[in-house]
Amino acid sequence: MKLIKQFFMISCKEATYLVSLKEEGKLSFSKYLKLELHLAICILCKRFEIQTGHFCKLAKQHPLKPEAKMSTEKKLAIKTLLEEA
Amino acid sequence: MENNYQLDPNKWIDNYADALYGFCIVRVNNQSIAEDIVQETFLSAWKARETYNAVATEKNWLYAICKNKIIDHYRKKGATITTETEESDSYFDNEEHWTKEKQPNDWGLNGQTQIEKKEFYQVLANCKQKLKELQQQVFVLKYLEDFDSDQICSILGISSSNYWVLIHRAKLQLRNCLEKKWIKI
């Protein structure tokens, strides 16, 4: 039993670490199997994978900040710089 | 110049300074750094105005320059930041299982209920700010700029094992912060 555990089981810490490698397709086949096995039986790590995947995708669609304004002083400073350049 | 297109730097600033600034602030999280990057963008664009050929729109051309300036900023930054050693771990116990206080709770994502998206970007910005600088940078380069891990390692001058540790920590911390401040569990 101990042997099986050693060969097939990974910890939650390792599983969550491997999730990012899986995302980029950088897992060896054996690591991939170990991760999938872990995710199949560990609801917490499965949640981690789904939730991080969800917010990273949202982050990717980050809208530009329409309300962001640059200070007038800085704009003037740049205008002056460009005139001198 | 072959084309009769006249570039007007004063108009540039009126038309694009705020938009470029908004683009930068999301990525560098610091007002004066963002302003300086916009300034460098305009200066470089002005010096390179002879090469502008109006194939790209003026706006896209400026964004492309700005993006390179942001990467330059990261590149310089990356070299000066010492990579971190593993910190004490509040997410996992000695057996590397989740600790009770930091384990992921159910966000209700499976039920396809739409979580309020409105607040998300503000909360994300706040949570991102709490990350260590290098963690922030790998997160931005990966998920906002769409680089892969190899490219990010070469931009920041870090090893790939270092990268995976950084992105792991960034995700753990962001997930935990978003759960408290956004999902409000």
Q: Where are the domains of chain A?
A: 2-84
- In angstroms, the CA B102 to CA B179 distance is 10
Average pLDDT of the residues in A15-24 = 96
Helices B58-80 and B133-143: crossing angle, nearest 10°? Answer: 150
Q: 3-state class of A11 per DSSP?
A: coil
Asked whether the beta carbons of B26 and A65 are under 8 A apart, the reply is: yes
Helices (H), A1-85: 2-8, 12-23, 29-41, 43-60, 72-84
Residues lower than pLDDT 70 in chain B: 1-6, 78-88, 110-116, 118
Per-residue pLDDT at B51? 79
Say which of B25, B26, B104 has its CB closest to residue A51.
B104
Chain B residues touching residue A45 (CB < 8 angstroms): 98
Report how far residue B147's alpha carbon sits from residue B124's, in angstroms, rounded to the nearest whole number.
Answer: 20
CA B168 – CA A13 distance, rounded (Å): 9
Q: State what percent of residues in chain A have pLDDT above 90.
A: 61
- The Cα-based distances of B123 to B41, B127, B183 in angstroms read 28, 6, 10
How does residue A26 score in pLDDT terms, banded at 50, 70 and 90?
Answer: very high
pLDDT category, A45, cuts 50, 70, 90? very high
Return the pLDDT at B142: 94
Domains of chain B, CATH where assigned: 9-80 (1.10.1740), 86-185 (1.10.10.10)
> Cα dihedral sign for A41, A47, A50, A52?
negative
Please report the pLDDT score of residue B3 as a whole number: 45
pTM, 2 dp: 0.81
Which residue of chain B comes nearest to A74, CA vs CA? B35
User: Mind telling me how many Å the CA of A63 is from chain B's nearest CA?
Assistant: 8
